[in-house]
Structure formats: structure tokens, C-alpha cells
């Protein structure tokens, strides 16, 4: 089974387990109902004890959350997924375009490298059976020709062995690269399933006074984990673009008939290693995109800045008044 098919299996797994969130709605309704009772009672009692009019707007919050719990798969998950799906599709389209360009350039580079090897008489027999047989026919059966023939066989075997080892290592890194992407996608799917199934419980707990941040934290984590896949596609697109630029430069150099190509694929291997390591930084990068608590932190920072400004202004005013008083006394 190909890695792309495994990713499709994970998508199907998420779609199959998404309706299970409705089963948690029954439990969440009881928790939310009890929380709404205490929430409304506390707000009404506080208003009555202070002889203030009852503000009805905050009392609508438990009922809004109750509606979200009752129709959680449709209202909550359906809305969030509908908003974020275009982002996933857009980044995946970017990745597909970059990979197609990279494959075309790689095929063109391999052809030019073979042609460059064939142009050089010293390396032509290493990549072509016809050139190897032709060179053998030119040799005789003298001791010197037999030594040359043995050297040709040894050089050809060494070249093929070296290429086989390089291709094996390259394939190994490609498998590890795909495995790293699959690990990230599997963990992402697991987190999304857990957040989706237990989402009604999080909404129910947020009804209780003092646990309102539970709703914000759940929404932040769900969106953050959902964006792992777009960020991974962008990271892969970046690597594919870098490799395309390198291959384009190699193709331009291969246009020179005197250029001897380097078949070690060192740069390709380096970027594969970077990609394997970089995949595991995706959760951290995604956490920079969306964070919770913005309004509270913003208000706190503004208040701190205002207090500092007031202190500086007060100190400056006091100093100015002191200087004016001193001058008047001096006069």
C-alpha cells in the first residue's frame, strides 16, 4: 500500500468516527443543564442582592452552548471543518504542483547526466552496455589487453555497486521522510478524533462559572491540530521548491559539454534529512499561528502600559513643579 493511500485511510477514519461525538451529547446535556441552572441562579442572585436590574444578555450564554451541544457534529464541527477545509485543499494543491515540477526536472536531469557520461569515453562504458561491449571488442587477447579488460570489469562492478548503495540510501531516506509525514498525520488524526468526541463535554464544562476558558482552549487546540496538515504541505512544498531550484542549476551546468556531473546526490540527501527533522517541528510552528487568551492578555498589557505612562507623566510633572517653585523662591 502506498503512503498516499495510508493518508486517505486516516481521512476515512476521521469521517467514520466523527458521528461518535453525538453519543457524548447525552452526557454533556446533563452536565450543561446543571451548570446552566447554577450559572443563571448565581447571576440573578447577584443582581438581586445588589438591587440592580438583571442583565439578560450574559444569561443567554448557557442556552447558546446547549444548542451547540445538541447539534455538535453539525453546528460546531461542521462549521469549523467547512472554514478550514479550503486551507487544507489550497496547500495540498501547492504541494502537488511543486512535486510535479520536481519530478519532471529530476527526469530531465537524469537524462542529461547519462548523456554527459556517454560523451566521456572514460565513463561511457560504465553506464551503457553497448559502449562496454564495443570497448571489449576493440581489445585483443594479449596480456596487456586482458589486464585492461579485467580493470574494466572491476571499474564497472565498483560503479554499479556504488550506485546501488547510493540508491538504497536514497530510498531509505525517502521512506523515512514519508514515514515522518505519516506519523504527524496519524497523531493529528488521533488528536482530532479525541477532541471531536469529547468536544461536547468541553462545551458542557465551559457552562459552569469559572470554567469559561475551557471553550476557548478546546477551540484553539482543535484549530491548531487541524492546521498541522496545511503546515506540513507548505513545508514539503518549500523543500520541493528548493530541490527544483538546485536541479535547474544542475541542468544549466550540464548544458556545458565539458562539465562532468556529480552523481553522489549529496545535496538531495541533506535536504531529505532536513525534511525528516523538520516534520517534527510542525506542531510548534502551528502553535504560533493561533493562540488563546488574546483579549485578556491585550487588556492586561494595555493597562500595564497605561500605568507606566501615568507614573512617568506624574514624575515629570512633579519635577517641573519643583523647578518652578525653586525659581520663584530664588527670586
| Domain boundaries defined on the chain | 72-298
Please give the pLDDT value at position 330: 43
Please give the pLDDT value at position 223: 92
210: alpha, beta or left, given left = phi > 0 and alpha = psi -120 to 50?
Answer: left
Residue 261 pLDDT grade (very low, low, confident, very high; cuts 50, 70, 90): low
Query: Which of the 8 DSSP states describes residue 76?
Result: I
68, 81, 192, 226 from 235: Cα distances, Å: 35, 22, 21, 15
Please give the pLDDT value at position 34: 85
**pLDDT tens-digit profile of 267-291?**
777 878 888 888 888 888 888 887 7
Could you please report the per-residue DSSP string of 257-322?
A: TT-----S-HHHHHHHHHHHHHHTTHHHHHHHH--S-HHHHHHHHHHHHHHHHHHHHHHHHHHHHH
| Residues belonging to the chain | 331
Q: d(Cα 66, Cα 33) in Å, to the nearest integer?
A: 8
**pLDDT tens-digit profile of 99-155?**
777 778 777 777 777 776 666 666 666 666 666 666 666 665 656 656 676 777 777
| Residues contacting 24, CB < 8 A, separation 6+ | 197, 198, 199, 200, 201
Residue 160 pLDDT grade (very low, low, confident, very high; cuts 50, 70, 90): confident
Q: d(Cα 264, Cα 309) in Å, to the nearest integer?
A: 62
Whose CA is closest to 223, among 83, 94, 90, 86? 83
Whose CA is closest to 280, among 179, 189, 175, 174? 179
Query: HSE on the CB side for 264, CA within 13 Å?
Result: 5
Q: d(Cα 321, Cα 309) in Å, to the nearest integer?
A: 18
What average pLDDT is seen over the chain?
76
Whose CA is closest to 192, among 6, 16, 4? 16
Burial level of 217, CB count in 10 A (0-12/13-18/19+)? middle
DSSP 3-state of 331: coil
Q: d(Cα 95, Cα 240) in Å, to the nearest integer?
A: 8
Proportion of the chain above pLDDT 90, given as a percent: 7
Please give the pLDDT value at position 239: 85
Q: d(Cα 315, Cα 321) in Å, to the nearest integer?
A: 10
Residue 292 pLDDT grade (very low, low, confident, very high; cuts 50, 70, 90): low
pLDDT at 305 over 50: no
Alpha-carbon torsion (207, 211, 216, 218), positive or negative: negative
52: alpha, beta or left, given left = phi > 0 and alpha = psi -120 to 50?
Answer: beta
Q: d(Cα 179, Cα 18) in Å, to the nearest integer?
A: 25
pLDDT at 320 over 80: no
Residue 226 pLDDT grade (very low, low, confident, very high; cuts 50, 70, 90): very high
Amino acid at each position: 500500500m502506498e503512503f498516499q493511500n495510508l493518508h486517505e485511510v486516516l481521512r476515512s477514519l476521521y469521517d467514520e468516527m466523527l458521528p461518535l461525538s453525538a453519543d457524548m451529547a447525552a452526557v454533556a446535556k446533563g452536565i450543561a443543564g446543571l451548570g446552566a441552572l447554577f450559572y443563571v441562579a448565581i447571576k440573578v442572585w447577584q443582581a438581586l442582592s445588589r438591587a440592580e436590574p438583571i442583565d439578560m444578555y450574559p444569561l443567554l450564554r448557557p442556552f447558546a452552548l446547549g444548542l451547540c451541544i445538541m447539534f455538535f457534529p453539525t453546528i460546531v464541527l461542521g462549521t469549523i471543518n467547512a472554514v478550514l477545509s479550503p486551507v487544507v485543499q489550497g496547500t495540498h494543491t501547492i504541494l502537488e504542483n511543486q512535486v510535479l515540477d520536481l519530478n519532471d526536472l529530476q527526469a530531465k536531469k537524469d537524462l542529461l547526466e547519462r548523456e554527459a557520461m556517454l560523451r566521456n569515453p572514460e565513463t561511457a562504458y560504465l553506464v551503457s552496455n553497448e559502449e562496454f561491449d564495443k570497448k571489449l571488442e576493440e581489445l585483443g587477447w594479449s596480456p596487456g589487453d586482458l589486464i585492461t579488460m579485467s580493470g574494466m570489469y572491476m571499474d564497472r562492478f565498483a560503479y554499479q555497486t556504488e550506485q546501488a548503495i547510493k540508491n538504497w540510501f536514497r530510498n531509505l531516506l525517502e521512506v523515512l521522510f514519508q514515514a515522518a509525514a505519516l506519523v504527524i498525520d496519524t497523531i493529528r488524526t488521533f488528536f482530532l478524533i479525541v477532541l471531536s468526541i469529547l468536544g461536547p463535554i468541553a462545551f458542557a464544562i465551559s457552562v459552569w462559572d469559572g470554567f469559561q476558558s475551557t471553550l476557548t482552549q478546546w477551540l484553539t487546540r482543535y484549530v491548531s491540530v487541524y492546521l498541522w496538515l496545511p503546515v506540513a504541505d507548505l513545508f514539503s512544498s518549500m523543500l520541493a521548491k528548493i530541490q527544483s531550484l538546485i536541479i535547474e542549476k544542475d541542468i544549466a551546468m550540464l548544458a556545458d559539454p565539458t562539465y562532468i556531473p556529480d552523481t553522489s546526490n549529496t545535496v538531495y540527501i541533506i535536504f531529505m534529512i532536513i525534511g525528516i527533522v523538520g516534520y517534527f517541528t510542525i506542531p510548534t510552528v502551528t502553535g504560533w499561528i493561533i493562540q488563546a487568551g488574546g483579549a485578556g492578555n491585550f487588556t492586561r498589557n494595555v493597562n500595564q502600559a497605561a500605568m507606566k505612562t501615568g507614573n512617568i507623566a506624574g514624575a515629570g510633572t512633579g519635577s517641573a513643579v519643583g523647578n518652578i517653585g525653586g525659581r520663584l523662591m530664588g527670586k
